[in-house]
Amino acid sequence: MTRAQQQYEQLTPASRALFERALGSLPGGNTRTTIFHDPYPVYLVGGEGCRATDVDGVERIDFISNYTSLILGHCHPRVVEAVQRQAGRLMSAAAPNELEIELAERIRERLPSIELIRFANSGTEATMLALRAARAFTGRSAIATFAGGYHGSHDYAASIPADPSASPGGRGIPAAVADTVVVAPFNDIEGTRAAFEPRLADLAAVIIEPVLGSGGVLPATAEFLAFLRELTREAGALLVFDEVISFRIGYHGAQGRLGVTPDLTTLGKIIGGGLPVGAFGGRADVMALFDPRSDNPLGHGGTFNANPLTMAAGLATLAEMTPERYDELEALAVELWEKLTTLFADTSVAGSVTQAGSLFNLQLDDTASLHLALLSNGILLTGRGMGCLSTPMTTVEVDAFVEAVRLGLR
């Protein structure tokens, strides 16, 4: 056992006990693959601002923020108040509500490419439905995506291989599904042209994260996105931006910053203010496929679509996220980037940091032992080194992070 693991296990006996109990009911003690790590994850019991407390009473600064969702941190008073108020009125019902109209309007103000929008319960649902819409609109089957991208856990998204040279597909995914998925190299115009070429006539959509999120916080270049815009237009396919994560990089999302307009956009995470959410929207002529008054509309049920609690939390969150708040968050992220870059240079560690808006990713050969060391030094960060800032953070938390990384690299 490594020193980092020993230290971690000494600090977290109650988490270990819960994990052992969970093994009796959940496969590998787990019900969310993306949050598992060896030897077991910490179990959280509370959060306030940018700090979260585990069952052993250990407090850490939360640079995961539920995989970038909690842009205002934990239990922001305005969000809590909005949810509590709504919970006392109407939690969910088989009826539309005014809050969904309001949240749709707030999102459309920020993303003018969205003329019409629909709400769902996760980013997974959002990308699945955007792809279905593209297929229905074009009458074609193939969808193209990029190595290193993540679009959720439905069969098409899960077909993206971890190894970019491997074929799309995976255990449990029918060949008929995987055969419709084309994977191209990210930010590589010639490689993408070659990968798409044989499938262009059947291409329904190209789906891309304009900033790779869990794939390392790597922005697509403006040239690459402009190339995709032109190629999809010429091929008669739709361009889908998956902004489930990247919407948090600025008031107008990544699309506002990179200057390319998609046909459809998928959203999730911050627009639900910490509650389960997804959304997809874009061109009115495509989204009109879902108009139940039309002939043969696309069905999109969902017992909890646009549920009032999520809508209330999302509205309270977006109301706080003014353009100035985005600027402040980004300035703090740049400060973090600078301090970490200096640390790597000073310690001669072969590492670097990528950053876009309030997102960042440590780029190191091995983040696993650093990850455990950070957990023992007061920091929550994803196992792959991806993290984000939230509005309650200041230079104090940035410095604590840099110091914990310094200790962890020793």
Ligand X SMILES: Cc1ncc(COP(=O)(O)O)c(C=O)c1O
Angstrom distance (rounded) from CA 247 to CA 271 = 9
Exactly one of 148, 168, 219, 268 binds ligand X (CB under 6 A); that residue is 268
Exactly one of 242, 263, 330, 397 binds ligand X (CB under 6 A); that residue is 242
Residue 247 lies near ligand X (rule: CB under 6 A): no
Question: What's the closest the beta carbon of residue 6 comes to ligand X, in angstroms?
Answer: 31
Helix H or strand E segment including 181 = strand 181-184
265: its two tokens: 């956009």
Exactly one of 67, 186, 241, 247 binds ligand X (CB under 6 A); that residue is 67
Question: What's the closest the beta carbon of residue 396 comes to ligand X, in angstroms?
Answer: 28
Q: Is 150 a catalytic residue?
A: yes
Residue 314 lies near ligand X (rule: CB under 6 A): no
Angstrom distance (rounded) from CA 269 to CA 276 = 8
Return the number of the residue (129 or 373) whose C-beta is nearest ligand X: 129
List of long-range contacts for 78-85, beta carbons under 8 Å, 24+ apart: 78/316, 78/319, 78/320, 79/273, 79/274, 79/313, 79/316, 79/317, 81/316, 82/273, 82/312, 82/313, 82/315, 82/316, 83/273, 83/275, 83/309, 83/312, 83/313, 83/316, 85/312
Which stretch in 42-50, 206-214, 331-339, 371-379 sits in contact with ligand X by CB under 6 A?
A: 206-214
Residue 279 lies near ligand X (rule: CB under 6 A): no
Which stretch in 117-125, 179-187, 224-232, 386-394 sits in contact with ligand X by CB under 6 A?
A: 117-125
Residue 127 lies near ligand X (rule: CB under 6 A): yes
Return the number of the residue (268 or 281) whose C-beta is nearest ligand X: 268
Residue 262 lies near ligand X (rule: CB under 6 A): no
Return the number of the residue (34 or 342) whose C-beta is nearest ligand X: 34
- The one-character DSSP state at 243 is -
Helix then strand then coil, % of the chain, to nearest 5: 45, 15, 35
Residue 86 lies near ligand X (rule: CB under 6 A): no
> What is the crossing angle of helices 3-11 and 368-376, to 10°?
40
Q: Nearest 5 degrees, angle CA 366-CA 372-CA 373?
A: 95
Exactly one of 152, 168, 219, 383 binds ligand X (CB under 6 A); that residue is 152
Q: Which of 62, 67, 269, 326 is catalytic?
A: 269
Cβ atoms of residues 224 and 254 within 8 Å: no
Angstrom distance (rounded) from CA 204 to CA 288 = 17
Question: What's the closest the beta carbon of residue 145 comes to ligand X, in angstroms?
Answer: 11
Return the number of the residue (213 or 253) whose C-beta is nearest ligand X: 213
Exactly one of 74, 110, 135, 151 binds ligand X (CB under 6 A); that residue is 151
Q: Which residues contact 369 (CB under 8 A, 6 or more apart)?
A: 2, 4, 408
Exactly one of 8, 146, 150, 156 binds ligand X (CB under 6 A); that residue is 150
CB atoms within 10 A of CB 186: 22
Question: What's the closest the beta carbon of residue 400 comes to ligand X, in angstroms?
Answer: 25
Residue 387 lies near ligand X (rule: CB under 6 A): no
Exactly one of 65, 124, 355, 377 binds ligand X (CB under 6 A); that residue is 124
Q: Classify strands 386-388 and 116-120 as parallel, antiparallel or unpaired.
A: unpaired
Residue 310 lies near ligand X (rule: CB under 6 A): no
When computed from its CA atoms, the radius of gyration of the chain, rounded to whole angstroms, is: 21
Residue type, 259: G
Q: Which residues contact 373 (CB under 8 A, 6 or more apart)?
A: 4, 7, 404, 407, 408
Q: Is 242 a catalytic residue?
A: yes
Residue 361 lies near ligand X (rule: CB under 6 A): no
Q: Is 43 a catalytic residue?
A: no
Q: Classify strands 181-184 and 116-120 as parallel, antiparallel or unpaired.
A: unpaired
Which stretch in 97-105, 240-248, 369-377, 399-407 sits in contact with ligand X by CB under 6 A?
A: 240-248
> Where do contacts with ligand X occur on this chain (CB under 6 A)?
67, 122-124, 127, 150-152, 209, 213-214, 242, 244-245, 268, 278
Residues with catalytic roles: 150, 242, 269
